């Protein structure tokens, strides 16, 4: 059996079918987080906050909630069930920032927490902003 045949053999064995259970939980929990976001949004609007600020406040609220749950050691247990349901909403971003920070405090607050807080969030911020800049150039020239 050569390399390619073996890779094919392993791939065939470990072939994963889309799990309806995973997708179901992702849908339910992800949907629930977005609905919570909508409820918070309506609440902030009701309090007379401007539309755009209300959106930012929703993000901040969900990030704070997810960050706290990460700190309390609950988030990873929820995410094990929810999968993409907690990853894709802004909660996944918060967890990706808080979890490496907590993990690296044994290496100190500069090279540990300070640097590693961006391990997973760094790429998200970089490529998000970079695509924003590209869009900005296009928008500025032809918008």
- Nearest distance from residue 19's CB to other proteins, in Å? 6
Binding of residue 131 to other proteins (CB under 8 A): yes
Binding of residue 3 to other proteins (CB under 8 A): yes
Please report where in the chains the tokens 């050691």 appear, as a residue: 73
- Nearest distance from residue 47's CB to other proteins, in Å? 16
Q: How far apart are CA 123 and CA 86, in angstroms?
A: 19
- Cβ proximity of 33 and 89 under 8 Å: yes
Identify residues 86-125 at the interface with other proteins (CB under 8 A): 86-90, 92-106, 109, 113, 117-121, 123-125
Q: Which is nearer to other proteins, 111 or 135 (CB)?
A: 135
Please report where in the chains the tokens 């791939």 appear, as a residue: 11
- Cβ proximity of 67 and 92 under 8 Å: no
Q: Which is nearer to other proteins, 111 or 127 (CB)?
A: 127
**CB-facing half-sphere around the CA of 110: CA atoms within 13 A:** 0
Angle at 104 between CA 98 and CA 109, to 5 degrees: 90
Identify residues 33-62 at the interface with other proteins (CB under 8 A): 33-35, 37-42, 55-60, 62
- Nearest distance from residue 117's CB to other proteins, in Å? 5
């Amino acid at each position: 059996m050569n390399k390619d045949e073996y890779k094919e053999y392993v791939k065939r064995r470990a072939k994963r079918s889309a799990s309806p259970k995973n997708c179901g939980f992702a849908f339910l929990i992800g949907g629930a987080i977005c609905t919570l976001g909508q409820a918070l949004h309506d609440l902030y609007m009701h309090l007379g906050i401007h539309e755009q600020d209300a959106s930012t406040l929703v993000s901040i609220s969900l990030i704070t909630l997810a960050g706290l749950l990460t700190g309390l050691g609950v988030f990873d247990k929820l995410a094990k069930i929810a999968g993409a349901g907690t990853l894709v909403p802004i909660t996944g971003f918060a967890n990706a920032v808080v979890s490496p920070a907590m993990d690296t405090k044994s290496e100190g607050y500069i090279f540990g927490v300070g640097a590693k807080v961006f391990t997973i969030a760094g790429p998200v911020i970089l490529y998000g902003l970079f695509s924003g800049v590209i869009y900005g150039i296009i928008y500025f020239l032809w918008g």
